[in-house]
Structure 1
Amino acid sequence: MHHAGMAGDVVSARSPTAVRALIFDFDGVILDTETPLFESWAEIYRQYGCQPLTVEDWARELGGKDRGSAPLAILAENVGIEIDRQKVLRARRAYGQQLLAREAIRPGLVEWLTEARRRRLPVGIASSSSLLYVVRHLRRIGIYEYFDAVLCCAPGIEPKPAPDLYRLACEALGVKPDGALAVEDSPNGIAAARAAGLRCLAVPNRITENLDLSQANVLVDSLSGITLEAVIALVS
């Protein structure tokens, strides 16, 4: 795995390894939805007199699909009294939405999207979240029109780490997987991209920076610290 900053040769567009499309994960890559989720659960835990999970425990325990249900189960176990689960979930959601509304698009992303458009690279999203949720947020932060395809979980489509979403995104963009670059923030996402045959750039956030992202081809601290052109050179 390269860490950003290593020299790479720019490969001509005729090369079979040239990057012909970009596919982004949504949660944690485009918008930091992970921190509001973590912080809103921490607040609920405090309200019920429980010690919140640390960022490290949260990332390790809930790096997969269980983020929706596991925190509630852990809370119910630790409180020792019967809790109104629906009330807890409503409060968590309301608080989480307040926090999420304050989140800006992640640094460097607009520059990357602008550069992709200038290079005429098709751009997609592959997300284990719901289509309604992803599109709503893309519209809210004003970048929906940059994306040529948005692939999300639906009946018959396995969530990450299964490769389904990335394979479908490549089909929708009209590229072979070996011609696409995935941008991910978690081990599950990287595994999905690699299993589908894509090269992968990892750009962790506060929640995922403690996880093992070594299966990515390139790891960067932030998209704002490196250009799309430089990353294409590295992975080519």
Structure 2
Amino acid sequence: MTLEALIFGGIGTLAEVAELDRAAWNAAFRAHGISWNWSWDTYAELMRPGGDRQLAARYAAHLGESVDADLLDHTHQNHFATMLAGGVPLRPGVARVMNWAARGGVKLALVSRSDMEPVRALLMATARARGGVPFDVAILRGDVTRMAPDPEAMEAALIALNLGPARALAIVDTPVALHAARDAGLRTLAFPGRLAETEPEDFEGMTIAHALGPEALISAWRGESREAAE
């Protein structure tokens, strides 16, 4: 059996975008005259459990306030796309791995809780750095009804790839994505981003990459636990 596909479990596995996402939310609040201003700690806590599309709705419920969460979410996604289009560097080793996969015939999939516009903006902004290597499959928030840690998106990626979980590896940057991948039966490589800083224990015993590289991918897919600093 050979490794036939890599599933990137969120745009945070491609680029460190959490701070831009937080800024986009705060810009949306200002645009609609709402006095909220999420600190990093507030944003990280809202992101930690995953499971829904509506951070604003959950935060409003916590405060006992009423807002148009759908409108806020739409404005946030637009601001986020604009910020991403301004340019963002790929995380260490991402371009190397994507080119390695393309040369070896390993398919590439992206799973994201974002809408099409932010994802398109990120991919356009990083196309040159990736050497133009595209994704074969993209499963975005509009393609599923349940968000990570539910495995629906990961399972949909496998269906689109026409592969069983044993033939693919998920690259995950947060515990939420990790749980979704594991529940879909996938082996995983931990590539923790900033949002995972408060929960490092979730990645204990796993292959952990601080920079992506083929050796770490193969090690994780084979189920070998080790620290991998490519």
TM-score, normalisation: structure 1: 0.71
- Give the aligned residue type for 1:103: V
Give 1:23's aligned residue: 7
Q: Larger deviation: 91-100 or 187-196?
A: 91-100
Using the TM superposition, give the Cα deviation of residue 169 of structure 1 relative to its aligned residue in structure 2, in angstroms. 1.0
- Give the aligned residue type for 1:36: L
Q: Tell me how far apart the structure 2 counterparts of residues 146 and 31 of structure 1 sit (CA, whole Å).
A: 15
Residue 47 of structure 2 is aligned with which of 50, 58, 62?
62
TM-score, normalisation: structure 2: 0.72
Query: Which one has more relative contact order, counting CA pairs under 8 Å at least 6 apart?
Result: 1
The verdict on how the C-alpha distance between 1:214 and 1:71 changes in structure 2, with shifts beyond 3 A counting, is same
The verdict on how the C-alpha distance between 1:166 and 1:40 changes in structure 2, with shifts beyond 3 A counting, is closer
**2:80 touches 2:118 (CA, 8 Å); kept in 1?**
no
- Give the aligned residue type for 1:122: K
- Give the aligned residue type for 1:220: A
Task: State the Cα deviation string for residues 21-47 of structure 1 (Å, max 9, x = none).
Answer: 101023311122211122455688999
- Give the aligned residue type for 1:125: L
Are 1:184 and 2:153 an aligned pair? no
Instruction: Map residues 59-98 of structure 1 onto 2, 5 A cutoff.
Output: 59-63=44-48, 64=50, 65=52, 68-69=55-56, 73=60, 77=63, 96=80
Q: Tell me how far apart the structure 2 counterparts of residues 85 and 173 of structure 1 sit (CA, whole Å).
A: 34
Are 1:228 and 2:214 an aligned pair? yes
Q: Tell me how far apart the structure 2 counterparts of residues 123 and 19 of structure 1 sit (CA, whole Å).
A: 11
- Give the aligned residue type for 1:232: I
Give 1:205's aligned residue: 193
Residue 20 of structure 2 is aligned with which of 6, 31, 36?
36
**1:160 touches 1:192 (CA, 8 Å); kept in 2?**
yes
SS of 1:169's partner is helix
Using the TM superposition, give the Cα deviation of residue 181 of structure 1 relative to its aligned residue in structure 2, in angstroms. 0.5
| Matched positions, count | 213
Larger Rg: 1 or 2? 1
Using the TM superposition, give the Cα deviation of residue 149 of structure 1 relative to its aligned residue in structure 2, in angstroms. 0.9
The verdict on how the C-alpha distance between 1:200 and 1:104 changes in structure 2, with shifts beyond 3 A counting, is same
SS of 2:171's partner is strand
Are 1:130 and 2:119 an aligned pair? no
**1:19 touches 1:179 (CA, 8 Å); kept in 2?**
yes
- Give the aligned residue type for 2:171: V
The verdict on how the C-alpha distance between 1:89 and 1:196 changes in structure 2, with shifts beyond 3 A counting, is closer
**2:182 touches 2:188 (CA, 8 Å); kept in 1?**
yes
Q: Tell me how far apart the structure 1 counterparts of residues 125 and 26 of structure 2 sit (CA, whole Å).
A: 26
Using the TM superposition, give the Cα deviation of residue 172 of structure 1 relative to its aligned residue in structure 2, in angstroms. 1.6
SS of 2:142's partner is coil
**2:207 touches 2:219 (CA, 8 Å); kept in 1?**
no
Q: Tell me how far apart the structure 2 counterparts of residues 203 and 215 of structure 1 sit (CA, whole Å).
A: 12
Unaligned runs of 5+ in 2: 223-230
- Give the aligned residue type for 2:119: V
Using the TM superposition, give the Cα deviation of residue 196 of structure 1 relative to its aligned residue in structure 2, in angstroms. 0.4
